[in-house]
Amino acid sequence: MDITTGPGFASLVAWLPQFDARSLSNSVWAFATLSYFDTPLLHSIASSALPLLAEFSAQGLSNTAWSFATMSFTSDPLLNSISAAARKKISELSHQDLSNTVWAMAKLGFSHLPLLDAIAAAARPRMSEMLAQDLANTVWAYAVFCVRNDPLLEAISSAALPTIGDFNPQNLANTSWAFENFWDDNEPLMYAISAAAIRSLVDFDTQPLATLCERGHQLPDYAVFEAQLRPVLMTFFEKIPRSLDPEAWDEYARTVEDVRIDNFGCVGTRFLLGWMGVGEAPEDFRQRSLSEGWIPRIGRLTATIQRGPGITWMRTRVVSHIQYDLKGPDMRLRGEEAAENAFHGEVLGDSRWLRAVTPPFNPFADRRTCSEFRFFDKIIEALSRAGVGSNATVRAGVEGYITIHINCPPCVSCIGVVRQFQLLFKGVTLCLSGGRSVPVQLWPGPPGAEETAAILVHQAPDEAPIEETYERWEDAKEGQHWGWNVAWRTEDRWWQSSGEPWQQRTWLSNEDFAANLEDA
């Protein structure tokens, strides 16, 4: 039964301005529990709640934050006001309220350092009351924010050890991931997590299993976890398309949804890339990425966004260090650069060449903003402008290498992007490393796995200027180039037929064409 179609639902929306604090909190909690998302309704609840937050109970504040986070709905004024109100009632928040509140803020990426400090101080003396879910959610949230609070970490670690048998697979994986970012040598806790995971291994879904394997051989039973993950990876590998057929990529998107995976972690990703013929970035290149500052560090990176007085949002940074040297008929592209993921909403249109996949755990994430997607889309456009992107025959003449080092493993959408580039430019050798380097034994691999491409000895690109050439069509007039809207606005259209992209043509003068490139 759809509760939103009857007259009762319309009456509820109309009466929201008359609701008291408890009714508003209970209503949004009910919609979150039912997994019903309605943007106008949530805006109405947020607007009605703002002037009443002082009347909300401590549990009401926590439940409201949890509900909005569960539905991935953000409201700057509401979250800022909830944070301020929660600080005033911090002593009234139960252990679950504390955990739910900090989890909600981390889930939405809303950073309020005074509240984080207050929750840490209030939570430490109440560790004995916290359940496994509370402990795991709390340490995960602080790791998401990259806020290290050693007294809180020590208290959580001490409380987790005697209760580790109560942790479910997701709790174990999240706790392991969080302490990797903060406290890499916590051997007693890692041993306890490993033992508990062995006992519940049959209950592990793919995502927590892949997350657990991130710790590599720091977990005593790592070999068992890898052996459990390997057949899942083999099955997933067989679903990675071997053509640019749109139906194959529709099937890939369904596979991502069915497997319930966003990121296979450094171990699972290395297996998949290795079977795809994508080698590791050379060790000296990875070291240079860090020593020369191309990548700040390996692991989670964040940045803050100020959106008003006291309103600070957090974004995850994914930074790639890239070196490439590509040669084709009458062209050469070479360089070294850093690429970073874009802000949500910064990408305004689709790529003409590549297709992203929406992850199951965050349906609002736009994977076109990923640093890997942005680089490959840009380099394909550069190759197209150089006259080697128009069809498969021409693209087959492009050779060279692209080497990439990323601060974290690429997501499953970007694994698909790597495959799409391989299918477009089959003569280019790809080497890619993301996150921590964990040695894996690739072979024997799944049916159809390619031998890992030999890693080339890359030389740093010289500084000689490269003369760019641009793609011309036979019916071009003198002094004209075929161009496109390089800003990728919505009026830019493209189609795909039999895997070959082709574009609506627009003739521009050389001056206008150059101006478009400068605007980009």
pLDDT score, position 13: 63
Q: What is the pLDDT of residues 227-238, one digit of tens each?
A: 999 999 999 999
Do residues 404 and 281 lie in contact, with contact meaning Cβ atoms separated by under 8 Å? yes
pTM as predicted? 0.78
Do residues 381 and 468 lie in contact, with contact meaning Cβ atoms separated by under 8 Å? no
pLDDT score, position 228: 94
pLDDT score, position 310: 57
Residuewise pLDDT in 10s, the chain (520 residues): 344 444 445 556 667 777 888 888 888 888 888 777 778 888 888 888 888 888 999 999 999 999 888 888 888 888 889 999 999 999 999 999 999 999 999 988 888 888 999 999 999 999 999 999 999 999 999 988 888 888 999 999 999 999 999 999 999 999 998 887 666 667 889 999 999 999 999 999 999 999 999 887 788 899 999 999 999 999 999 999 999 999 999 999 999 999 888 899 999 999 999 999 999 999 999 999 999 999 988 887 777 676 666 566 777 888 999 999 999 988 999 999 998 887 655 665 688 889 998 877 766 667 788 889 999 999 999 999 999 988 889 999 999 999 999 999 999 999 999 999 999 999 999 999 998 888 888 888 888 786 543 333 333 334 333 333 333 333 333 433 333 333 322 233 332 223 333 333 344 444 554 454 444 4
CA distances from 427 to 334, 408, 455, 459 (A): 15, 26, 14, 19
Q: In terms of C-beta density within 10 A (0-12 exposed, 13-18 middle, 19 or more buried), how is residue 70 classed?
A: buried
Q: What is the pLDDT of residues 312-340, one digit of tens each?
A: 677 788 899 999 999 998 899 999 999 88
| Cis, bond preceding 77 (omega within 30 deg of 0) | no
How many whole angstroms separate alpha carbon 424 and alpha carbon 496? 13
Do residues 189 and 161 lie in contact, with contact meaning Cβ atoms separated by under 8 Å? yes
CA distances from 119 to 46, 130, 158, 248, 290 (A): 23, 13, 18, 48, 34
